[in-house]
Amino acid sequence: MRRLLHRAAAASLALALAIPALADDDKAKHESRIVVTGRARAETPPDFASVEIGIEAKGATPAAALDGASNVVRALIALSAGFGVGESDIGTTAVTLTQGTREVRQPDGSITEKPDGYRAANSLRVRLADMGKLGELMRKALDSGANRIEGVAFGLKDPNAAEATVQVAAMKDAMAQAGRLAEAAGVKLGPPLSIQTTPQGGGMPMAMAAAPMRSKRPGVPVPLAAGTIETSAEVSASFAILP
């Protein structure tokens, strides 16, 4: 009976020693991997332009100021429609009405604020697919009574498609890096074990802000350069190393 107990104890000890050894082997196999980060970027010409155009009007009464701004905005909407801009590509961005003031110097030399009618502002964001006509649209907007151009921006109608393209290129870059490292280390590269993307996004190539402007030179289009939109992507991937 004692011999049997001794044999059982010895077998249990051997098994206990073998389990950590197997666990260490599995851990080593699990950690046998190559981890890389693939990167890619692309520059894509924009396929639409947008501009914010507005009017700031003055009036002796709130109604007079607001009506003055409204009349110009109606003309801007009609002008945009004449350039082939659909209703979905025209949107109001701001409508404000405030009391105007002016500085008045008192006999003692101090300066005070006095009421000076009312000021109304109204702005539209217009998106134009035919970017070649944007400068002409801006010029004619000024001729129609607009006196504010807040900014110009260019963009992509489907930015997700551009991002997907660079993500694929980033993954290919990661695979190429892993392949080179495996060859240099004299090991055989296995399949990817994990893939993780890092959101990068894309930027507008151009943004322009301008103070209230009005020109006496009729019919001169505003010169604009669309540039390109840069889209980038990063992919972190780990690859197995085959035995």
As given in the structure block, the two tokens for residue 63 are 């109604």
pLDDT at 100 over 70: yes
Mean pLDDT of 58-65: 95
pLDDT at 178 over 90: yes
pLDDT at 29 over 60: no
Listed residue (219, 72, 220, 208) closest to 80, CA to CA: 72
pLDDT at 19 over 60: no
Check residue 218 and give its pLDDT. 53
Check residue 31 and give its pLDDT. 64
Rounded Cα gap, residues 155 and 46, in angstroms:
5
Listed residue (234, 193, 243) closest to 34, CA to CA: 193
Mean pLDDT of 196-208: 58
pLDDT at 80 over 90: yes
DSSP, res 211: -
pLDDT at 202 over 60: no
Check residue 201 and give its pLDDT. 54
Mean pLDDT of 76-105: 92
Check residue 28 and give its pLDDT. 47
Mean pLDDT of 131-140: 91
Check residue 181 and give its pLDDT. 96
Rounded Cα gap, residues 165 and 173, in angstroms:
13
**What's the pLDDT band for 44 if we cut at 50, 70, 90?**
very high
Instruction: Report the amino acid identity of residue 233.
Output: A
Residues pairing with 98 in the sheet: 119
Tens digits of residue pLDDT in 157-170? 999 999 999 999 99
pLDDT at 17 over 50: no
Mean pLDDT of the chain: 82
Check residue 30 and give its pLDDT. 52
With a threshold of 0.85, does the pTM exceed it? no
